Amino acid sequence: MVLLLFYDAAAFVEDEKHALIQSNWWSYHYTNDSYHNIAVNPCEWEEITCNEFGSITKLWRPIIPRKQPRLVDLNLTAFPNLEYLGLFGMGLVGIIPTQIGSLHNLIDLDLYNNNLTGIIPTQIGNLYNLIYLFLDENKLSGIIPTQIGSLQNLTYLYLDKNKLTGNIPIQIGALQNLIDLSMSNNNLVGEFPTILTNLPQLERLDLSSNNISGHFPIIKDLTHLDYFNLSNNKICGSIPREIGNLSLLQSLDLSQNKLNGSLPSFKSNYLFVANFSHNKISGNIPSNLCTYSNMPYVDLSYNNIIGNIPKELGQLKVINFSYNSLTGHVPREVYCKFPHDILYGNKELLGLEKNQSCSNHKNMYSYMKIILPMVVFFIIVLFVFVLFRTLKKNKKTKIERREPKNGDLFSIWNYDGKIAYEDIIKATEDFDIKYCIGIGAYGSVYRAQLPSGRIVALKKLHRSEYGNPSFAKSFHNEVKMLTEIRHRNIVKLHGFCLHNQCMFLIYEYMERGSLFYVLSKEDEAKEMDWSKRVNSIKGIANALSYIHHDCTPPITHRDITSSNVLLNSKMESFVSDFGIAKILDPNSSNQTLPMGTCGYVAPELAYTLVVTEKCDVYSFGVVALETIIGRHPGDLILSLTEISSKSILLRDVIDSRLPLPLRRDAQDVILCVTIALACLHPSPKSRPSMKQVSHKLSFSNLALTIPFNDISFQYLMNHDVHIL
A 10 A CB-CB count for 632 gives: 18
Residue 559: active-site member? yes
3-state class (DSSP) for residue 682:
coil
3-state class (DSSP) for residue 462:
coil
3-state class (DSSP) for residue 273:
strand
CA dihedral of residues 239, 242, 244, 248 (deg, nearest 10) = -120
Kindly give, in sequence order, each residue whose CB lies less than 8 Å from that of residue 397, ignoring residues fewer than 6 positions away. Answer: none
CA distance 472 to 579: 10
**Residue 336, strand partner residues:** none
3-state class (DSSP) for residue 235:
coil
C-alpha to C-alpha distances, 635 to 210, 642, 653, nearest whole angstrom:
10, 11, 11
CA distance 222 to 367: 54
Helix axis angle for 613-629 and 530-545, nearest 10°, is 170
CA distance 31 to 48: 13
**Whose CA is closest to 70, among 38, 36, 99?**
99
Chain centroid offset of residue 198 CA = 32
DSSP 236: E
Residue type, 568: N
Residue 407 in contact with residue 425, Cβ under 8 Å? no
Kindly give, in sequence order, each residue whose CB lies less than 8 Å from that of residue 504, ignoring residues fewer than 6 positions away. Answer: 424, 443, 458, 459, 460, 461, 496, 497
Kindly give, in sequence order, each residue whose CB lies less than 8 Å from that of residue 196, ignoring residues fewer than 6 positions away. Answer: 168, 172, 173, 181, 202, 205, 217
C-alpha to C-alpha distances, 250 to 128, 269, 285, 615, nearest whole angstrom:
32, 9, 20, 38
CA distance 344 to 367: 35
Whether cis (ω within 30° of 0) applies to the bond prior to 217 is: no
Active site residue: 110, 253, 559, 616, which one? Answer: 559
C-alpha to C-alpha distances, 650 to 23, 618, 647, 715, nearest whole angstrom:
46, 20, 10, 10
Q: b/e for 669-704, b at 16 or more Cβ within 10 A?
A: bbbbbbbbbbbbbeebeebbbbbbbbbbbeebebee
CA distance 721 to 724: 8
C-alpha to C-alpha distances, 360 to 357, 431, 433, nearest whole angstrom:
8, 20, 21
Residue 233 in contact with residue 207, Cβ under 8 Å? yes
Burial of 165 (0-12, 13-18, 19+ CB in 10 A): middle
3-state class (DSSP) for residue 506:
strand
Kindly give, in sequence order, each residue whose CB lies less than 8 Å from that of residue 628, ignoring residues fewer than 6 positions away. Answer: 533, 537, 654, 655, 669, 672, 673, 676
Q: Between vectors from CA 155 to CA 152 and to CA 159, what angle results, nearest 5°?
A: 100
Helices (H) and strands (E) in the chain, counts: 14, 34
CA distance 331 to 353: 8
Residue 659 in contact with residue 589, Cβ under 8 Å? no
**Residue 444, strand partner residues:** 439, 460
What are the residue numbers of the active site? 559
